[in-house]
Structure 1
Amino acid sequence: MTQLDPQLAQRFARIALGHVAQEYPHKLDHVLVRDEDAVPPRVLHPVFYGSFDWHSCIHGWWTLLTIRRLHPGLPEAERITILADDSFTADKLGAELAYLARSHSAGFERPYGWAWVLALHGEAVLHDDRSWGSRLEPLARAFAERLRTYLDKLTYPITVGTHFNTSFALTLALDWARTHDAELAAIIAAWAERCFAGERDYRGWEPGGDEFLSPALSVALLMSRVRGSADFTPWFEGFLLDNGALERRFQPAFVSDRSDGKLAHLDGLNLSRAWALRSVRKVLAPHRSEPALQRLADANFAAALPHLSGEYAGEHWLATFALLAMLADA
């Protein structure tokens, strides 16, 4: 099991520092309604304009703040502090919040970016030597309210292995809500139970060719957050273990071309699987599947760890998922 030692933490920090303030190349989630709307990313999003896209910049910042908290003695920690102080200002964050009031912004970054804003705020409040948490709170509250409204009308879960996946977003949101919004936490738990409590005998096709999330493991991870060991263990047995799907579907995915942004998603799939498998193993009651879960988690993690940088298609986001996987074993 790889540890987040100072050397690896420094590697993650340097990767993220290299892209959170890099404006181009950039892929916008932006609807134009007039000529004046065609402006650069830094104008639309004065805080989160880097890292190729808005959501990757959000979780790039989550990576940086997490590294700063866990390894405050790194030389990069001071660079993170200076950059965050310059970025998380009232004016700049106010512009990010104002963007949500634009016409056609109702579905902006739903739900993946929403959940990462909550995770970033949850991390920021842990840095009590700075006011980052209080400054990010209005943005987090705005997305929490959007999530509350969205779940009220989302009849069916979205189970694809990309940014639209409901379970992944709700896992991050639930972790935040349990500290910051008890009502939302209860809504998420009830929604997950309604949608997934009866799921059995998973037979989906995995992996998909451009996924960075496992549809099945994303559901399992959410349910492991919602339920205690006694209730989760039999559910997990019926969902993934009894029919042999775990061993059959979750060997490390092969990445044929890391310069291709979609195919590079598969490195992220391996990392997010490692996160989910490690997290699930910790919730299970003592169980015969624990060695297999650990073995698959370690194999998926090892397959992706050497490839976090070198190709910007993956470099602008993969370190975040490596960090998630490592924190699951902390």
Structure 2
Amino acid sequence: MKRFFLVILCLGVISCKGDKSNETENNKTSTDSIDVEALLPDGLATSEPVILDVEEANKLVELPLGCIATEYPNKLGQTLENKEAMGEPHELHPAFYGCFDWHSSVHAHWSLVSLLKQFPKLEKKETIRETLKNSLSSENIQGELEYFNRAESGSFERTYGWAWLLQLAEELRTWEDPLGQELANNLQPLTDYIVQEYIEFLPKLNYPIRVGEHTNTAFGLTLAYDYANATGNEEFLEAIKKRAQDFYLKDDNCPVSWEPGGYDFLSPCLSEIDIMRRVLPKNAFSLWMDDFMPQMKKKDFEMEVGEVSDRTDGKLVHLDGLNFSRAWVLYGLANQYPQQFGHLKTLANEHVAYSFPNVVGDSYEGGHWLGTFAIYALQEAQAKVKQ
């Protein structure tokens, strides 16, 4: 019966132009084998948040600056239509050739923009500006667009890289700096292409992809939703809302005890929550959570951090990313609905606390991408609810 009322409530919201589904409402984990508190800077207690200040930002900015122009090692993820399709990374991807793979290069650019927006007086602010201007030139973006238009590139970076490209586009568009607007305009042809590809692809995807890695559908929809919402693209927004509800509205009893998988950097259960809290109004979301993961409403809800055994292994280090991505979902949930989920901030803090000390100075296997996840998580910790 609850499910029936939930569907009716959601249908009513879809037909209502005045929906404000993202309005703000007016744990602790077991770490027996981990001395989390000993890892924290300056003896910070695990119940306290790690704060992204200018000192930490100056450290974190070294990660994207250090990899954007690092061409090798490189994982192209390319389907070759013929031998002429081969080329060096900088030839195939004039803007996004560094940081080991395309999507990591994209979100490394996002990291630079995000940090510079938050901390305009960064020590290397001029280097960052010059790097962004050189990389995101209109000529380079045209080269990226040409790659996407290749016959065998239809599924390239679908949808993980697509989502991060839209996140970068949103960050540039909302940067109140002439350079931000210039670079957003340069990026716009590729942004428009990705949006159109998304709109065409979503109706064809009959079943969501529920994994803890790149192809997770819920994660891709979440970043795409934020872009569509920020830019007022109603067609795109409605397409995302419809597919999210098609895919996830009837889900219940998510098997979170099966998590994490050994290579996960996303939580299948929590990624689903992240998109549904955006597309459902307050009452509908609360009912949905009662079926999907009711245990999260309990003050003593526990979720152990993902433990990393070898940070030089590119797959095993994914679990540091999982800790950050779990944290940003928990922070977002607690910020939007503090009365029901405010207790989850402690759990989010503990996840960040375990992995944050390992980000700077990590091997290239983790360093080329984990900084982005840390920045995004800490940004969500202090973010206002996106309307």
Give CA-to-partner distance per residue, 1:199-230, whole Å, 9 cap, x none.
11122510000010000000001111112332
Counterpart position of 1:157: 208
Counterpart position of 1:240: 293
Counterpart position of 2:80: 32
Q: Does residue 208 of the first structure (1) align with residue 257 of the second (2)? A: no
Counterpart position of 1:19: 67
Q: Is the contact between residue 67 and residue 77 of structure 1 (CA under 8 Å) also seen in structure 2?
A: no
Of the two, which has the highest radius of gyration? 2
Q: Is the contact between residue 308 and residue 314 of structure 1 (CA under 8 Å) also seen in structure 2?
A: yes
Counterpart amino acid of 2:174?
L
Q: RMSD value over aligned CA atoms?
A: 1.7
Of residues 236, 240, 248, the one that matches 1:196 is 248
Structure 2: unaligned runs, 5 residues or longer: 1-48, 383-387
- Within 5 Å, which residues of 2 pair with 1:196-275? 196-204=248-256, 205-242=258-295, 250-275=303-328
The whole-number CA distance in structure 1 between the counterparts of 2:297 and 2:355 is: 24
Q: Which range is displaced more, 320-329 or 231-240? A: 231-240
Residues 1:51 and 1:154: Cα distance change in structure 2 (over 3 Å) = same
Counterpart amino acid of 2:191?
A
TM-score by length of 2: 0.82
TM-score by length of 1: 0.95
Q: Which range is displaced more, 66-75 or 221-230? A: 221-230
Counterpart position of 1:315: 367
Counterpart position of 1:297: 348
Give CA-to-partner distance per residue, 1:89-119, whole Å, 9 cap, x none.
1111100011111111000000000011101
Counterpart amino acid of 1:53?
D
Counterpart amino acid of 2:98?
G
Counterpart position of 1:55: 103
The whole-number CA distance in structure 1 between the counterparts of 2:332 and 2:251 is: 20
The whole-number CA distance in structure 1 between the counterparts of 2:141 and 2:298 is: 45
Counterpart position of 2:330: 277
Residues 1:90 and 1:193: Cα distance change in structure 2 (over 3 Å) = same
Q: Which range is displaced more, 27-36 or 308-317? A: 27-36
The whole-number CA distance in structure 2 between the counterparts of 1:30 and 1:96 is: 13
Q: Does residue 133 of the first structure (1) align with residue 184 of the second (2)? A: yes
State the aligned residue count.
Answer: 328
Counterpart position of 1:80: 128
1:248 positional shift: 7.4
The whole-number CA distance in structure 2 between the counterparts of 1:285 and 1:4 is: 22
**Matched position secondary structure for 1:286:** helix
The whole-number CA distance in structure 2 between the counterparts of 1:295 and 1:19 is: 32
Counterpart amino acid of 1:163?
H
Give CA-to-partner distance per residue, 1:72-99, whole Å, 9 cap, x none.
1112221110111111111111000111
Q: Is the contact between residue 21 and residue 49 of structure 1 (CA under 8 Å) also seen in structure 2?
A: yes
The whole-number CA distance in structure 2 between the counterparts of 1:300 and 1:230 is: 28
1:285 positional shift: 5.8
Q: Is the contact between residue 255 and residue 269 of structure 2 (CA under 8 Å) also seen in structure 1?
A: no
* Larger RCO, structure (CA 8 Å, separation 6 or more): 2
The whole-number CA distance in structure 2 between the counterparts of 1:186 and 1:244 is: 29
Residues 1:247 and 1:93: Cα distance change in structure 2 (over 3 Å) = farther
Structure 1: unaligned runs, 5 residues or longer: none
Give CA-to-partner distance per residue, 1:266-289, whole Å, 9 cap, x none.
0000000000111111222612x4
